[in-house]
Chains A and B, each alone.
Chain A
């Protein structure tokens, strides 16, 4: 029971199918996975193995077809829609491969979005956004539009957006794949240095072997299943 308390994510037999009948595709075929609080877990595997589907289920933006997935002890699938939205808004941060910043908002305004969703006033949110942007090294670019920033800078804005509301779980989808090696490394250092805390968990989906060294554990997936969990990338094929 005490071990359960330390778990950020607890998946048991998670099954996810898309479509019906002959067109049915099984994306997850009974995934068992535990992610501990304060841990940086990477999900790796070939394209189409179900990594993105799994983090979507963990983040509560996709319901599994069967099985049990609890995030900080909360069964998101059985939450009412409103409660699920509120849970997501408070507890989950997102970092995307394509950054997904709103192009017409400045860096600071983009960072305020999670706070505004949680009901904070605009002025207060902007003040906090500027502080967080300072933390990620973009204090001088708060008024820049995404199009005026480099890829690495945009990803740093995305990281600031992911952490500003102090979520307990951050899910990242290929956060470095659009970046060169050096920038990718810096982004990972930032994620590990600022985003990761004892009470905050990071789950990162990646193909990028260059960043495996940052992981506490790596879950390798294939064909909709977690086939192994290792603590060192050298243990992977």
Chain B
């Protein structure tokens, strides 16, 4: 009987493809849009994830997320270093500065100042040059994507290739000379500004003079020290905010959820995808069942039980659901692969597969349910109507 169910489904090519297209569309929207959303959200705290070494981030208690800088006095560093359980604590400067390019154009960059001695807080991976090269005079390290895109210069001839920065080139930061000493590979930030690394003392020279310049204190717990206890101790001792890496990512993530329109915009897209997919697939599946009511009636008259008919419809719904889901997820993966080297934020973690799987299952269940109801209540005597 299951083979009959499948033949009934596939025999009506137009409707079969219609249902699959609806489910594919729903599955695509329910994976592609959240994948971009997740990509964007991950970029919002990419600065935190890129800094692997410190366990604890210490900052002004009013800081709401990673780019919300409220500078501290340099003396706070020593107070943190004095808290029991802290193995080490280093300063970090983070600010937005305008870089003047060799062609005279300006570009806003994220400037990160690392502890002069240890260079803690450096980029996750060097592409060219070494982190230690920052100790050279006026040295900066630039993230490779920024160097290739926003910091590159227009082509020498119309239609030519953009001129990328190279080691030894100079930039001007707030009237100070900066020499490129290397390139790093960073996770893109949410606004995709180029990231420039330099030493803490040099960053303070680059930045406009302010009374407080210390953006964050990066701390490491002593071996065996519980992070939750240590952050609590830092908070109570210094009056500053102290978060573990994961906590600070969570703070940033929640800020984005609460204070930006990003989740709502993507949520609306996903909801629309779900509704349109459900409408197309549900309506087409129901119409397919309606057109086959006489056939279901014939089967019923011949002695097929409602339970068997229900399983036949569920099989039909499961098949179109699986095909639609597979195609949608496949198209999303293809989209992600095609966009892998672009500025587009795209992350496709396993839980999005689960999310869209649940979505498609709900659509299929809805489509099957309205069809099943019609078939179960069908009077088999309908077969005698001409």
Contact = CB atoms under 8 A, between A and B. Distances in A.
Contacts, number: 77
Given A59-B301, A82-B305, A94-B301, A102 B383 contact: no
A56 B383 CA distance: 10
B3 A113 contact: no
Contact of B4 (A59, A82, A100, A109): A109
Interface in B282-308: 294-295, 298-305, 308
Interface string A173-188: 1100000000000000
B381 A104 contact: no
A105 interface: yes
Given A89-B302, A89-B303, A94-B301, A56 B4 contact: no
Interface stretch (B8-16, B27-35, B105-113, B134-142): B8-16
B380 interface: yes
A61 interface: yes
Given A85-B304, A105-B4, A55 B384 contact: yes
Contacts of B308: 117
Q: Is the interface of B mostly helix, strand, loop or mixed?
A: helix
Contacts of B298: 94, 96, 100, 102
Contact of A85 (B1, B4, B303, B379): B303
User: A interface, how many residues as a size bin?
Assistant: 20 to 34
A53 B302 CA distance: 17
A56 B300 CA distance: 13
B341 interface: no
B386 interface: yes
B3 A117 contact: no
Interface residues of B, number: 25
Nearest to B8: A104
B176 interface: no
Contacts of A90: 303
A145 B11 CA distance: 11
B7 A62 contact: no
A88 interface: yes
A82 B304 CA distance: 10
A103 B11 contact: yes
Nearest to B11: A104
Given A59-B301, A117-B299, 7 more contacts: A56-B384, A96-B298, A97-B386, A102-B8, A102-B295, A114-B303, A122-B3
Interface of A: 52-53, 55-56, 59, 61-62, 82, 85-90, 92, 94, 96-98, 100, 102-105, 109, 113-114, 116-118, 122, 173-174
Interface of B: 1, 3-4, 7-8, 10-12, 294-295, 298-305, 308, 379-381, 383-384, 386
Closest 9 CB pairs of A and B: A104-B11, A89-B303, A61-B380, A88-B303, A56-B381, A104-B7, A52-B384, A100-B298, A62-B381
